[in-house]
Amino acid sequence: MINRTSYLTRSFDVPEGYLLAAYERSGGYRSAQRALGMPREIIVDQVKKAHLRGRGGAGFDCGVKWSFMPKDDARPHYLVVNADEGEPGTFKDRAIMEKNPHAVIEGALIAAHAMGAHTVYIYVRDELHMAKARLEAAIAEARALGYVGERPFGRPWAIQVFVHSGAGAYICGEETALLNSLEGRRGEPRLKPPFPAQCGAFGDPTTVNNLETIAIIPTVIELGGDAFSRLSALHDFNDGGVRLFGVSGHVQRPGLYECAVGLTLRELIYDLGGGVLGDRKLLAVIPGGSSCPVLRADEMVHVLGDPRFAPYDGKSVLDLPLGVDTLRTIGGMLGTCCAIVLSDAADPVLALATLMHFYRHESCGQCTPCREGCGWIERILDKLVAGRASMEELDRLTEIASDITGNTICAFGDGAAQPVLSFVRKFRREFEDYVLTGGRSQTRTLVA
Q: How distant, in Å, are the alpha carbons of 98, 189, 238, 239, 323 from that of 55?
A: 18, 20, 14, 11, 11
Nearer to ligand FMN, 188 or 267 (CB): 188
Nearest to 234 by CA among 140, 167, 309: 309
Nearer to ligand FMN, 82 or 422 (CB): 82
Contact 46, 107 (CB under 8 A): no
Nearest to 210 by CA among 13, 65, 366, 70: 65
| Residue 259 backbone phi and psi in degrees, to 5 | -145, 165
Nearer to ligand FMN, 171 or 367 (CB): 171
Nearer to ligand FMN, 282 or 409 (CB): 409
Nearer to ligand FMN, 14 or 64 (CB): 64
∠ Cα 83 137 5 (to 5°): 60
Tell me which residue has its CB nearest to ligand FMN.
173
- Report how far residue 320's alpha carbon sits from residue 318's, in angstroms, rounded to the nearest whole number: 6
Smallest separation, CB 135 to ligand FMN (Å): 15
Smallest separation, CB 187 to ligand FMN (Å): 10
If one counts every other C-beta atom within 10 angstroms of the C-beta of residue 265, the result is 25
Smallest separation, CB 160 to ligand FMN (Å): 21
Smallest separation, CB 155 to ligand FMN (Å): 25
Contact 425, 325 (CB under 8 A): no
Nearer to ligand FMN, 223 or 338 (CB): 338
Smallest separation, CB 174 to ligand FMN (Å): 4
| Residue 398 backbone phi and psi in degrees, to 5 | -65, -40
Smallest separation, CB 199 to ligand FMN (Å): 16
Contact 88, 355 (CB under 8 A): yes
Smallest separation, CB 223 to ligand FMN (Å): 19
Nearer to ligand FMN, 90 or 343 (CB): 90
Residue numbers at the binding site for ligand FMN (CB under 6 A): 54-58, 60, 65, 82, 84-87, 170-171, 173-175, 208-210, 213, 410-412, 415
